[in-house]
Amino acid sequence: MASLYFFMVLTPVIVYVIAHRFYGLKKAIIGSLLAACAVVVTDSVMFGKIDDLLVTELSLFLLLGIVSIKLKNDRFFKFQPVVVNGIFVAWLSWLQWFDQPILIKYMPRLTAINPEFGALLSGEPGVRFLQDASLMIIINLLVHAFIVAYTAIKSGDGVWLMARLSIYPLVVLSSIVLSIMRPLAF
């Protein structure tokens, strides 16, 4: 199920790059928006409720897509992850220091994706790990925002797509570093 979810999240971006190459900016953005809507619907069916994070991302897709179409400039659409990352960094920072870190807050969703997470991360070492991992998410989003912004300004669709997808290797690398720094000891 985790690989299906991963593929779903990538679909709107891949649709955009392919459609932009063959059909132009307007059709690429519309196709990407339709794919993003399909992701929200599929996620809602899988988890039984609408995810506010996905709806926020879809709303920004729509807003920045309209601006890009009106101004005939794809940079606005390509800056969507930068805007989303900025909003999420602010929100996740608030949760991290004034409420409950995001991975602890979303533990039921993580458990729904992979039930083994619940057993592995329910004790005190697991909670500390989730707190640290939540902080790493904030750092990853900041780094990712800078990479995507730079490539949106300086590069074509292919390099931008690789930059857009760079969040996944960043997460894997930071997870490895975090695992070495704070192993789960039971």
Domain boundaries, the chain: 1-78, 79-186
- 115 vs 27, higher pLDDT: 27
| pTM flag (> 0.75) | no
Q: How far apart are CA 36 and CA 15, in angstroms?
A: 10
Instruction: Check whether 75 has a pLDDT greater than 80.
Output: yes
Instruction: Check whether 181 has a pLDDT greater than 90.
Output: no
Instruction: Check whether 119 has a pLDDT greater than 50.
Output: yes
CA angle 120, 137, 117 (to 5 degrees): 15
For residue 147, give both structure tokens.
């990479």
* Ranges 69-73, 96-100, 115-119: which has the least confidence: 115-119
Q: Are 87 and 157 in contact (CB under 8 A)?
A: no
Instruction: Check whether 182 has a pLDDT greater than 60.
Output: yes
Q: Are 141 and 174 in contact (CB under 8 A)?
A: no
The kind and range of the H/E element at 47 are helix 25-47
Mean pLDDT of the chain: 83
- Amino acid at the residue 181: M
Segment 122-150 mean pLDDT = 85
Q: Among the residues of 48-123, which ranges form H helices? A: 52-71, 75-78, 80-98, 102-105, 107-113, 116-121
Instruction: Check whether 184 has a pLDDT greater than 60.
Output: no
Number of neighbours of residue 62 by Cβ within 10 angstroms: 15
For residue 76, give both structure tokens.
């606005």
Instruction: Check whether 113 has a pLDDT greater than 80.
Output: no
Compute the Cα dihedral for 105, 177, 147, 26 and give only its sign: negative
Number of neighbours of residue 167 by Cβ within 10 angstroms: 19
For residue 160, give both structure tokens.
């931008």
Instruction: Check whether 100 has a pLDDT greater than 90.
Output: no
Q: With 0-12 CB in 10 A as exposed, 13-18 as middle and 19+ as buried, what is 36?
A: buried
> pLDDT tens across 13-24, in order?
889 999 999 999
